[in-house]
Amino acid sequence: MSGMDLMALAPLWITAGASILILMFISVKRNFRFITGFSLAVSAAAFASLFWVDRMAPMSVASLFIIDGFALFYMGLLFGASFLIFLLAHGYLKALPEHREEFFLLTFLAVLGAAVMASSQNFVILFLGLEILSLSLYALISYPLTRKASLESGIKYLILASASAAFLLFGIALVYFETGTLEFSRTGAALAAGSSNTPIFFLGLSLIIVGLGFKLALVPFHTWTPDVYQGAPSPVTALVSSVSKGGTFAALLRLFFVFDVSRYPSLFLGFAVISAASMFVGNLLALLQNNVKRILAYSSISHFGYLLVAFLAGGRIGGEAAAFYLLAYFITIIAAFGVVTVMSSWDREAEALADYRGLFWRRPWIAAVFTAALLSLAGIPMTAGFLGKFYVVAAGVRSSLWFLVIVLIINSAAGLFYYLRIIVTMYLPAESRRTEGEVGRSMAAPVLAGGIALTVLVLLLFWFGIFPSGIIGVIKKTAGALDYAAVSTALGGGGRWID
């Protein structure tokens, strides 16, 4: 590696360094307030470093990482999400009797793994990023150790994630067996040349889809999602639903953009079936739930089914639609779980639908934020979620994916029911039968940091829904970066690309 290569990886160095420093701070003296401030500062520094690194992009680092507009955009989403999650988690963790600082250490490791996946152009780096992400999530989902529900969720995720990692690794081995390379671009070039167009190669590709599909909770790899979302602490659920899925989807998008899914009907059909099944299963099962976290869990399954429509549309329009939809999803889902976080404490999660009955009459601002987030998830106009769905539908129409577009519209209408169900519950009169302890806990004022995070999120939610032109300009560069990957594939990969 040259000095420029090391500088191009500055966002990853900053994130990795933060986890090491926090470990050292904890070993010397625990100071929750200092670690919180340090974590916020490092997240902001990592985000700011992207603008400096952008001057060197696009470039390939040792044929392992690719630093381009695509990678920088998705890393920006990850760092921004971590900053907001730290703010939301402050009040939740403040009352925890012990081991509060480890949350920040493990979160930085999760963000590092997701960022490595978003910038990978080699199967080894992809797997390494996935494992860094998974290992940190095993501990985070089980956090704190005094909650039996968290421990149960952590064990479930450990077993299933380990199995999915085995599928991914075996799939990579089969692809390497056929192509003799681990680089995305060279693998794509071999596939385009027809030298690796064999059943073993496509079996390996199928196993890779299984491994990544588990992380994205796509049907039929979704069964872990509601149990883990319900059992994990609310800040961790926000992390899993945003950072974990965002890094994985970025890797999936880059990998299969290089492979050009549209050229292989069986592969295309497989993704189309997964997309439609995810939309139907996610929405239908969400209709049957009375637990808010489980509703949001099944909702996330359907949303990534929507995202696969943009993925299958391909080209620039597909890349732009996927990037904008994921941005809107990040803002919206973190806002939704942010409300659950500020309503909860480490010893009691505000997850039952009854906990939100009459919320508007007790805490109108929190109810307003939750309403805005749910309306955005439903795709109501003037929200980022609406423009995200419109962008995806436009991409689907442009690529003549009529069946998937119709399925998306039908499921969006069905999903509106369970979102409105939560909203109506918040504006009903409060139940007089609630115990004094429950009322006191739900009436507790949110910590200032959480209130700031929710305010920022709701402003972004409406800003990108009403004035999207600025961020769309950035996203167009992101989609253009995937075209560089296509050029690299045609040339056999490797090297630095000049615009």
pLDDT at 490 (0 to 100)? 37
pLDDT at 123 (0 to 100)? 92
In a domain, 245, yes or no: yes
**Could you tell me the residue range of the domain that residue 28 belongs to?**
3-491
Nearest alpha carbon to residue 15 among 87, 117, 99, 100: 117
pLDDT at 327 (0 to 100)? 94
pLDDT at 302 (0 to 100)? 93
pLDDT by residue (tens digit) across 21-30? 999 998 888 8
Determine the average pLDDT of the residues in 396-402: 90
Cβ–Cβ under 8 Å, residues 67 and 8: yes
| Range with lowest mean pLDDT among 80-84, 91-95, 125-129, 274-278 | 91-95
Nearest alpha carbon to residue 306 among 181, 408, 210: 408
% of the chain with per-residue pLDDT over 90: 49
In a domain, 496, yes or no: no
In a domain, 10, yes or no: yes
In a domain, 195, yes or no: yes
Average per-residue pLDDT for the chain: 86
pLDDT at 499 (0 to 100)? 32
In a domain, 498, yes or no: no
pLDDT at 198 (0 to 100)? 81
| Range with lowest mean pLDDT among 44-48, 260-264, 402-406, 454-458 | 260-264
- With bands split at pLDDT 50, 70 and 90, how would you rate the model's confidence at 125? very high
pLDDT by residue (tens digit) across 142-186? 887 777 888 888 888 999 888 889 999 999 999 898 888 888 888
Nearest alpha carbon to residue 477 among 57, 80, 122: 57
pLDDT at 46 (0 to 100)? 93
pLDDT by residue (tens digit) across 303-361? 999 999 999 988 788 888 999 999 999 999 999 999 999 888 777 888 888 888 888 88
Determine the average pLDDT of the residues in 462-490: 72
Q: Judge whether residue 476 has pLDDT over 90.
A: no
216's tokens: 């994205």
pLDDT greater at residue 298 or residue 193: 298
Q: Judge whether residue 487 has pLDDT over 50.
A: no
CB atoms within 10 A of CB 35: 22
Our count of domains for the chain comes to 1
Contacts of 271 (CB under 8 A, 6+ apart): 209, 261, 308, 311, 312
In a domain, 312, yes or no: yes
pLDDT by residue (tens digit) across 252-266? 988 888 877 778 888
In a domain, 53, yes or no: yes
- With bands split at pLDDT 50, 70 and 90, how would you rate the model's confidence at 495? very low
Cβ–Cβ under 8 Å, residues 258 and 126: no
In a domain, 158, yes or no: yes
